[in-house]
């Protein structure tokens, strides 16, 4: 446990003011870059991942920090997108809400569907986020599509993906 802060309980629900304070705290990190088109809050380098996590006062294992960093490195070119990480923080107390933000953030081509690579990225975060989801690691993309594709169009929409993850998580809890 870090001596730099006292971690909050995992069940802690952040207020809207705390979300905004987190957003502003990230903007004060040395690697902050504003959003070039001015529509978003900007980003910080993944080299600041530990500092970004300390700002929310959640205890994270070195494995979690490494996995989160690798995910942002791979999918967001080494940048932590402030608007996405703040949305993740908003959903951290609700698995379905967290899953929704994760899936939306993983849809890199923004086509509304989950590709093989996007699925792999989602699994990487899920496995480190909640150890109880380790059973999902063996899921192939083909099985995921078979199980999650409710409307049988051969693709998995963001909503179908969230529903699949939520159902799997609930089944693994029992």
What is the 3 state secondary structure string of 42-111? CEEEHHHHHHHHHHCCCCCCHHHHHHHHHHHHHHHCCEEEHHHHHHHHHCCCCHHHHHHHHHHHHCCCCC
Residue 116: its H or E element: helix 116-129
Domain boundaries, the chain: 7-93, 95-174
Q: What is the pLDDT of residue 172?
A: 81
Q: Report the pLDDT averaged over residues 66-91.
A: 87
Q: What is the pLDDT of residue 2?
A: 41
**pLDDT band with cut points at 50, 70 and 90 for residue 119:** very high
Q: What is the pLDDT of residue 130?
A: 77
pLDDT at 88 over 90: no
**pLDDT band with cut points at 50, 70 and 90 for residue 93:** low
Top-level class of domain 95-174: mainly alpha
- Mean pLDDT computed over every residue of the chain: 86
Q: Exposed e or buried b for every residue in 121-141, given b needs 16+ CB within 10 A?
A: bbbbbbbbbeeebeebeeeeb
7-93 against 95-174: fold identical: yes
Length of the chain measured in residues = 174
Q: What percent of the chain has pLDDT over 70?
A: 90
For the CA atoms of 28, 102, 18, 53, what is the dihedral angle to 10 degrees?
A: -50
CATH of region 7-93: 1.10.238
- Residue-wise pLDDT for 14-45, tens only, equals 788 988 999 999 999 999 999 988 888 899 99
């Amino acid at each position: 446990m870090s001596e730099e802060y006292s971690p909050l309980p995992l069940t802690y629900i952040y207020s809207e003011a705390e979300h905004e304070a987190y957003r502003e705290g990230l903007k004060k990190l040395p690697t902050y870059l504003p959003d070039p088109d001015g529509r978003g809050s900007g980003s910080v380098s993944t080299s600041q991942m530990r500092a970004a996590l300390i700002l929310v006062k959640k205890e994270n294992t070195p494995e979690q920090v490494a996995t989160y960093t690798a995910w942002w490195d791979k999918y967001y070119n080494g940048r932590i997108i402030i608007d996405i990480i703040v949305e993740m923080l908003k959903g951290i107390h609700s698995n379905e809400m967290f899953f929704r933000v994760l899936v939306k953030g993983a849809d890199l081509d923004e086509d509304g569907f989950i590709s093989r690579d996007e699925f792999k990225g989602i699994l990487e975060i899920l496995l480190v986020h909640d150890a109880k989801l380790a059973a999902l690691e063996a899921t192939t993309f083909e099985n995921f599509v078979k199980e999650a594709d409710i409307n049988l169009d051969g693709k998995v929409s963001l909503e179908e993906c969230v529903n699949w993850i939520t159902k799997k998580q609930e089944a693994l809890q029992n």
